[in-house]
Amino acid sequence: MSEVADRPGAGAAAQLILELLPEPVILVRAVEDEGPEIAYGNKAAREVFRIELAGAPLGAALRRPEVLEAIEGALATSTNAEVAFETIGVQPRFWRAFARPLDTGPGGPRQLVVVLRDETDAHRTERMRADFLANASHELRTPLASLAGFVETLRTHAKDDPEAREKFLGIMAQQATRMARLVDDLLSLSRIELNEHIAPSGKVDLARTVQDVSDAIRPLTAERGVIVAITPEPGAPSVTGDRDQLVQVIQNLVDNAVKYTPSGGRVRVALQFAANLDAARAPSRSGVGLSLLSPDASDGQAYVVVRVTDEGPGIARQHLPRLSERFYRVEGQRSGGTGLGLAIVKHVVNRHRGGFAVESAEGEGSTFSVYLPVAAS
Ligand SMILES: Nc1ncnc2c1ncn2[C@@H]1O[C@H](COP(=O)(O)OP(=O)(O)OP(=O)(O)O)[C@@H](O)[C@H]1O
Ligand SMILES: [Mg+2]
């Protein structure tokens, strides 16, 4: 190590490396009767903490008292220190500072190096994981509490009341179905995520898939008095895909559309060939449109677009970006669902290297579009 460092020019090289490091690194020096000052900050440090000059007080760059205290302590006692802190700006960032004293020999200045690590991404992932667990537990707990309540009622008050018993058992069956669906959706989402990086290899005829999904939900649409009208694209090519997953995608979109369309209304499912990405992304109607997922552009890739349009209440603009988040439901709409459907759609379409968009306006229904790459012939 020292051999390398002793070679001619090694000091300049080390200086250059330090400058180019993506992590902020600062050299802090103790000043008699004053707070510590910054002797040096590399490029990343100067950018992140806007340290203009060597000689600036440390407190001007790192304003958090707990960080200053830890560094001053390490400087005074020549020991290591580690401290986590948050900077507040347009976007809060999470940092961890590592302070290491420098041995400058007897009588030398008291100095230490502070390396800062940006832990914002790890923090965000951790927050998402915690939120997800809290949401999932909450969603499971609600029907479970209701089931437990009814068991208690059946054991006591409703014990000798056959009519009430029948009614409560009906509700319990509903709640049990709801829980089973939630668990199925959660498992399905985690399976999709596990192999999201592995592109599917099958070929799927989307026109057939749309027809099959529509046939399967006919009992539901008949009951709701909603018509599902399919406009096929004659001669539309097959797409590269996993058929079961694409069934799930279309099912979720059509389910939502049927759910929000008032009885007597119509849900339209249209297939369309798009020669390239721009054509696939082109708006299909007036109102606000937003892409929820967009593939990387690849030259000459053609797509098949599936558009599901309903005559429901539409969705206010502020909700659009969050629709495909897990458990997100528009407030005030009683969907009866758990808010996982569109998250599943997004992950499946992402695995397929396709795109997903929504167009909607309050009072004007909604159109959800998914586009998938055409299979090579
Ligand atoms: N076609 C639509 N019209 C109006 N709002 C919709 C439509 N589709 C989805 N939404 C809104 O987006 C939310 C999320 O939809 P998503 O399909 O993910 O969940 P869900 O239908 O509530 O539950 P799940 O699909 O898990 O049963 C819904 O709760 C609803 O508020
Ligand atoms: Mg849904």
Domains of the chain: 2-118 (3.30.450.20), 123-194 (1.10.287.130), 203-373 (3.30.565.10)
Best mutation site among 251, 253, 323, 346 for ligand 1 pocket (most ligand atoms within 8 Å of CB)? 323
Q: Which residues pair with 117 in a beta bridge?
A: 96
Q: Which two tokens stand for residue 278?
A: 């721009």
Residue 374, CB-side half-sphere exposure with 13 Å CA sphere: 20
Residue of 192, 292, 335, 347 to mutate, ligand 1, most atoms within 8 A of C-beta: 335
Q: Backbone phi, then psi, for 85, in 5-degree steps? A: -155, 170
Nearest atom within ligand 1 for CA of residue 313: 4
Q: What is the pLDDT of residue 87?
A: 85
DSSP state of 8: T
Lowest mean pLDDT among 22-26, 47-51, 138-142, 331-335: 331-335
**Is residue 1 pLDDT above 50, yes or no?**
no
**Per-residue pLDDT reduced to its tens digit, 44-76:** 999 888 777 678 888 888 888 999 999 999 999
Query: Among the residues of the chain, which ranges form H helices?
Result: 2-6, 10-20, 43-49, 58-61, 65-77, 120-155, 162-194, 206-216, 218-224, 243-260, 277-281, 341-351
pLDDT at 53: 65
Count Cβ atoms below 10 Å from residue 306 Cβ, excluding itself.
27
- pLDDT given at position 5: 59
Q: Please work out whether the CB of residue 338 comes within 6 Å of at least one atom of ligand 1.
A: yes
* Cβ of residue 339 lying under 6 Å from some atom of ligand 1: yes
Stretch among 98-102, 108-112, 225-229, 323-327 having the lowest mean pLDDT: 108-112
Euclidean distance between CA atoms 87 and 178, whole angstroms: 43
> What per-residue confidence (pLDDT) applies to 51?
74
Q: Compute the mean pLDDT over every residue in the chain, rounded to the nearest whole number.
A: 92
Give me the numbers of helices (H) and strands (E) for the chain, helices first please: 12, 13
- Give me the mean pLDDT over the 141-154 stretch: 93
pLDDT digits (tens, 9 = 90+) for 128-147: 899 999 999 999 998 999 99
